[in-house]
Amino acid sequence: MSLLELVNLLALGLFVFLARRAWIRSQTPFPLPPGPKGWPIVGNIFDVPKDKQLHIAYMEMGRKYGNDLLYLNMAGTSLLILNSEEVANDLFVERSTLYSNRPDFPMLFLCEDEAGWTHNSMGWEFNVGLFPYGDRWRKSRALFTQQFSPSNLKTFQKPLLQESTYVFLKKLLDTPKEFEHHIRFFTGGTIISSVYGISFDDPRHESYLALAKHINQAFGEAGIPGTYLVDTFPMLKYIPEWFPGAGFKRKAAYERGFVQRMYNEPVEFVKRNMASGTAKSCVVSRALEEMQDDGGWSEEKEEIMKMVSATMYAAGADTTSATLTIILLALVRDTDIMKKGQAAVEAVVGLDRLPDFGDEGRIPYVDALIMEGLRWRPITPLGVPHHTVSADTYRGYYIPAHTVVIGNTWAFLHNPDTYGEDVTQFRPERFLNPDGTLNSKVPYPDAAFGFGRRVCPGKAFAQSALWLAVASLLACFDFGKVFDEDGVAIEPSTDCIDGLLLRPPPYECTITPRSKAMEGLIRQSFERHI
């Protein structure tokens, strides 16, 4: 095919695509939701501000049009932004059958069109969170939920979290300047050990943490619809790598090698250890043993197990660490909050031991700190996009089939009507009564974990990991700002790095044990349990 023929084919395909959408919309008497008028062909591509983070831009655009629904036409792709938790619940929960699908992410995962063509991508087609709503998603979700059930959390994950905490605290004691790496070790390392049975002192542990960091950075960038031109113009997936503007294909090919390593290598490690009788109990080994014991092994079941375990690994390595880094940032910026947290932990735990899961639920201020961290800087500020399986009408508006629907989590959790006028501030007290108990009238920031049938299945694990880490940090350390050469305190920035996964920018801080006795307790706990 010549270059001219390829260009003509793309132009014809775009015309047919837009004409078909225009015809479909003409069949309903209902208007589309409010939004900017847009331009021919390209729609609203140029209406989204480039100088603002998307979640803030969408929130402000929604206010401009005076509606919780914001509609954009992105070169023929319908995009609906939900700017209130009420409409998100109405659509994602009450109408979950229509709104639980996922859109195509041409940059992230392999897709197959009606003609059977497959197109190279970054290789994220294994990710359960991106599966279309259907049988494969249900089977994978069931296994995911089973592995993070309350009984498994108590029997397997919590003891491992406790052990990981002792290593985490010891690392902070020895090399406090590397705190961001140590946080990633605590959250991601625990997941790696839980899923694949890789010991904390195994060199693979560090290697797989670094691998997860790399691929999640690429995922966070590519997961925002419109980041790459192929997301807006899916037909570009047909062009060859040498074609002008096909840099996205070379980028995908480069990242695919890292993703495939993450997907395959750890499972092969477990299978080799099982064959030699040296495997530690973990998610993968238990799933394989169960298949073997009941005679229910099949290639499909093993592939689902690989998909679920890789999704746990990829998601767990980055999400919880980002939230914990954000909470630590807040403690560094405000020593009054830190001191209140320390006093609350000390009142329950005392000074002669470290917090454990027996204290969980007994320190409301720690719960409030975590809730405020999830609310203040939600790590998925736009959630993961949903996709309508058919057309719908809502509040008198027409929502076309195959619309990409985004719940603006940032807008939900920065709603002054729900959380107070000071929503831009980090203030745990908003979740507390005057007597220090939790205020049930202020809702838990559940939106940080998604909605409806697509809510994060690892939510309970993340909550427990955050609770133990925050309580332990408050019990053991003082946190402070660093000073420049003139003796002026450096204020860490709160302007997070944008992407599907939000992270605070790198910052410096001081981390010192609260006393010599506490330093000794950290070392004793590490030596006793590790």
CA–CA distance, 123 with 141 (Å, rounded to integer) = 20
Neighbouring residues of 37: CB distance < 8 A, sequence distance ≥ 6: none
CA–CA distance, 113 with 287 (Å, rounded to integer) = 33
Q: Identify the CA nearest to 81 among candidates 73, 89, 91, 71.
A: 71
> Which tokens hold the place of 268?
């092969």
CA–CA distance, 309 with 283 (Å, rounded to integer) = 7
Q: Give the amino acid at 196.
A: Y
CB 382 within 8 A of CB 224: yes
CA–CA distance, 36 with 19 (Å, rounded to integer) = 20
What's the alpha-carbon Rg for the chain, to the nearest Å? 24
Q: Identify the CA nearest to 387 among candidates 103, 94, 132.
A: 103
CB 44 within 8 A of CB 75: no
Neighbouring residues of 337: CB distance < 8 A, sequence distance ≥ 6: 330, 331, 369, 426, 428
Interior/surface letters 440-451, b for 16+ CB within 10 angstroms, e for the rest: eebbbbbbbbbb
CA–CA distance, 398 with 58 (Å, rounded to integer) = 20
Neighbouring residues of 447: CB distance < 8 A, sequence distance ≥ 6: 85, 88, 378, 383, 407, 409, 412, 413
**C-alpha distances in angstroms, 41 versus 11, 27, 44, 106?**
11, 20, 9, 20
Residue 456 assigned ligand-binding role: yes
Q: Which value, to the nearest 10 degrees, does the dihedral of the CA atoms of residues 302, 305, 307, 311 take?
A: -160
Q: What is the DSSP string of 301-334?
A: HHHHHHHHHHHHHHHHTTHHHHHHHHHHHHHHH-
CA–CA distance, 149 with 286 (Å, rounded to integer) = 14
> Which tokens hold the place of 456?
């994060």
Q: Identify the CA nearest to 472 among candidates 219, 171, 154, 175.
A: 171
What is residue 101's three-state secondary structure?
strand
Annotated binding site: which residue ranges?
456
Annotated binding site for heme: which residue ranges?
456
